[in-house]
Protein backbone atom coordinates (compact mmCIF):
# COMPACT_ATOMS: atom_id res chain seq x y z
CA UNK A 1 0.00 0.00 0.00
CA UNK A 2 2.76 2.38 1.00
CA UNK A 3 4.61 1.65 -2.23
CA UNK A 4 1.59 2.55 -4.34
CA UNK A 5 1.33 5.94 -2.71
CA UNK A 6 4.96 6.69 -3.36
CA UNK A 7 5.54 9.44 -5.91
CA UNK A 8 8.24 8.68 -8.45
CA UNK A 9 10.17 10.90 -10.83
CA UNK A 10 11.82 9.84 -14.10
CA UNK A 11 14.43 11.93 -15.83
CA UNK A 12 14.98 12.16 -19.59
CA UNK A 13 17.92 13.92 -21.15
CA UNK A 14 18.62 13.71 -24.83
CA UNK A 15 21.87 15.09 -26.13
CA UNK A 16 20.38 16.26 -29.38
CA UNK A 17 18.74 19.60 -29.88
CA UNK A 18 15.35 19.09 -31.47
CA UNK A 19 13.88 21.94 -33.40
CA UNK A 20 10.37 20.74 -34.04
CA UNK A 21 9.47 19.20 -30.72
CA UNK A 22 9.75 20.32 -27.15
CA UNK A 23 12.21 18.45 -24.98
CA UNK A 24 10.62 15.89 -22.66
CA UNK A 25 12.58 16.32 -19.43
CA UNK A 26 10.67 14.64 -16.60
CA UNK A 27 7.70 12.43 -15.86
CA UNK A 28 6.40 12.40 -12.31
CA UNK A 29 4.01 9.73 -11.03
CA UNK A 30 1.95 11.23 -8.22
CA UNK A 31 -0.88 9.27 -6.58
CA UNK A 32 -3.32 11.96 -7.79
CA UNK A 33 -2.01 12.57 -11.31
CA UNK A 34 0.83 12.03 -13.75
CA UNK A 35 2.84 15.13 -14.60
CA UNK A 36 4.97 15.46 -17.70
CA UNK A 37 7.48 18.33 -17.86
CA UNK A 38 8.70 19.83 -21.12
CA UNK A 39 11.06 22.55 -22.23
CA UNK A 40 10.55 24.35 -25.52
CA UNK A 41 13.16 26.53 -27.16
CA UNK A 42 11.99 28.94 -29.86
CA UNK A 43 13.98 28.94 -33.07
CA UNK A 44 14.34 31.09 -36.12
CA UNK A 45 12.09 29.20 -38.53
CA UNK A 46 9.21 31.45 -37.47
CA UNK A 47 8.99 35.22 -37.09
CA UNK A 48 9.84 36.15 -33.49
CA UNK A 49 9.93 32.45 -32.60
CA UNK A 50 6.30 31.79 -33.55
CA UNK A 51 3.83 30.40 -31.04
CA UNK A 52 2.96 27.26 -29.14
CA UNK A 53 -0.26 25.72 -27.96
CA UNK A 54 -1.52 22.35 -26.74
CA UNK A 55 -4.47 20.45 -28.16
CA UNK A 56 -7.23 19.83 -25.64
CA UNK A 57 -7.50 16.15 -26.61
CA UNK A 58 -3.84 15.38 -25.93
CA UNK A 59 -3.48 12.02 -24.23
CA UNK A 60 -1.01 9.42 -22.99
CA UNK A 61 -1.34 5.90 -24.31
CA UNK A 62 0.08 2.93 -22.41
CA UNK A 63 1.20 0.60 -25.16
CA UNK A 64 0.97 -2.59 -23.08
CA UNK A 65 -2.66 -2.09 -22.09
CA UNK A 66 -3.91 0.27 -24.77
CA UNK A 67 -5.30 2.44 -21.97
CA UNK A 68 -5.57 6.16 -22.72
CA UNK A 69 -5.23 8.98 -20.21
CA UNK A 70 -6.64 12.29 -21.36
CA UNK A 71 -5.08 15.64 -20.56
CA UNK A 72 -6.43 17.12 -17.31
CA UNK A 73 -4.52 20.35 -17.11
CA UNK A 74 -1.79 22.27 -18.90
CA UNK A 75 0.54 24.49 -16.86
CA UNK A 76 2.35 27.37 -18.53
CA UNK A 77 1.06 26.55 -22.02
CA UNK A 78 -2.35 27.54 -23.36
CA UNK A 79 -4.92 25.08 -24.67
CA UNK A 80 -5.85 25.56 -28.34
CA UNK A 81 -7.22 27.73 -29.84
CA UNK A 82 -5.36 30.02 -27.41
CA UNK A 83 -1.68 30.45 -28.27
CA UNK A 84 1.43 31.61 -26.51
CA UNK A 85 3.37 33.93 -28.82
CA UNK A 86 7.09 34.19 -28.32
CA UNK A 87 8.67 37.61 -28.54
CA UNK A 88 11.96 36.50 -30.04
CA UNK A 89 13.68 33.55 -31.67
CA UNK A 90 15.73 33.16 -28.49
CA UNK A 91 12.80 32.69 -26.10
CA UNK A 92 12.07 29.51 -24.20
CA UNK A 93 9.25 28.04 -22.17
CA UNK A 94 9.01 25.42 -19.46
CA UNK A 95 5.60 23.81 -19.22
CA UNK A 96 3.86 20.77 -17.77
CA UNK A 97 0.93 18.57 -18.75
CA UNK A 98 -1.13 16.76 -16.13
CA UNK A 99 -2.90 13.47 -16.83
CA UNK A 100 -4.80 11.00 -14.62
CA UNK A 101 -2.59 8.70 -12.53
CA UNK A 102 -1.03 5.90 -14.53
CA UNK A 103 -0.54 2.55 -12.73
CA UNK A 104 2.98 2.24 -11.39
CA UNK A 105 4.06 -0.67 -13.53
CA UNK A 106 6.81 -1.02 -16.09
CA UNK A 107 5.33 0.39 -19.25
CA UNK A 108 5.91 2.10 -22.58
CA UNK A 109 4.14 5.39 -23.23
CA UNK A 110 3.15 7.38 -26.26
CA UNK A 111 2.13 10.97 -25.78
CA UNK A 112 -0.14 12.17 -28.57
CA UNK A 113 -1.12 15.69 -29.28
CA UNK A 114 -2.22 14.66 -32.74
CA UNK A 115 -2.73 11.12 -33.97
CA UNK A 116 -1.83 12.18 -37.51
CA UNK A 117 1.68 12.77 -36.28
CA UNK A 118 2.33 15.98 -38.22
CA UNK A 119 5.73 17.58 -37.80
CA UNK A 120 4.17 20.39 -35.80
CA UNK A 121 2.45 18.09 -33.33
CA UNK A 122 4.03 17.60 -29.94
CA UNK A 123 4.06 13.79 -30.12
CA UNK A 124 6.41 11.46 -28.28
CA UNK A 125 6.73 7.77 -28.97
CA UNK A 126 7.86 4.68 -27.09
CA UNK A 127 8.90 6.18 -23.80
CA UNK A 128 10.03 3.15 -21.80
CA UNK A 129 9.62 3.38 -18.05
CA UNK A 130 11.03 0.89 -15.57
CA UNK A 131 9.59 1.53 -12.14
CA UNK A 132 12.85 0.40 -10.54
CA UNK A 133 14.51 3.39 -12.23
CA UNK A 134 12.05 5.89 -10.79
CA UNK A 135 13.34 8.03 -7.96
CA UNK A 136 11.15 8.37 -4.89
CA UNK A 137 10.05 11.88 -3.96
CA UNK A 138 9.84 13.01 -0.34
Partner 1 sequence: MAISRSAYRRYKVIDSLLRNTMRPYPTIINIREACEQKLDLSPSLDTLEKDIRNMKLPEPDGFDAPILYCRLHKGYYYTNPNFSINSVSLTDNDISSIKEAMELLRNIGGNRVGDRFGYAIDKVLTSFKETFPDGNSKRKIIQTDYVSGARGFENFDPLFNACKNKYPVSFVYYSYKKRTFKSFIVHPVMLKEFENRWYLVGFSENHHALRTFGFDSIYQPLLLKRKYIASKQMEIDVYIHHLHGVYPIENQEVQRIAIETTALISNYFEAYPIHKSQKTNKLESGGCVFNFELVPTEELVRLFRSYGRDLKVLEPLWMNELVKNR
Alpha carbon of 101 to those of 17, 73, 86: distances in Å? 30, 13, 32
Q: What sign results for the dihedral spanned by CA atoms 18, 71, 61, 54?
A: negative
- Tell whether residue 96 is a contact of partner 1 (CB under 8 A): yes
Minimal distance, residue 54 CB to partner 1, in Å: 17
Query: Which 3-62 positions form the footprint of partner 1 (CB under 8 A)?
Result: 9, 11-13, 17, 23, 25-26, 28, 37-39, 41
- In angstroms, rounded to a whole number, what is the distance separating the alpha carbons of residues 5 and 59? 23
Q: φ and ψ at 22, to 5 degrees?
A: -70, 165
Closest CB 92 distance from partner 1, rounded Å? 6
Residues of this chain that interact with partner 1 (CB under 8 A) are 9, 11-13, 17, 23, 25-26, 28, 37-39, 41, 90, 92, 94, 96, 135-138
Amino acid sequence: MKKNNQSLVFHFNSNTILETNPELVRIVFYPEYTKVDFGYVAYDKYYRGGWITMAEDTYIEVLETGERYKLLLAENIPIAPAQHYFESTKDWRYYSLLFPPIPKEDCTLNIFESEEGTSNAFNFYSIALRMSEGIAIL
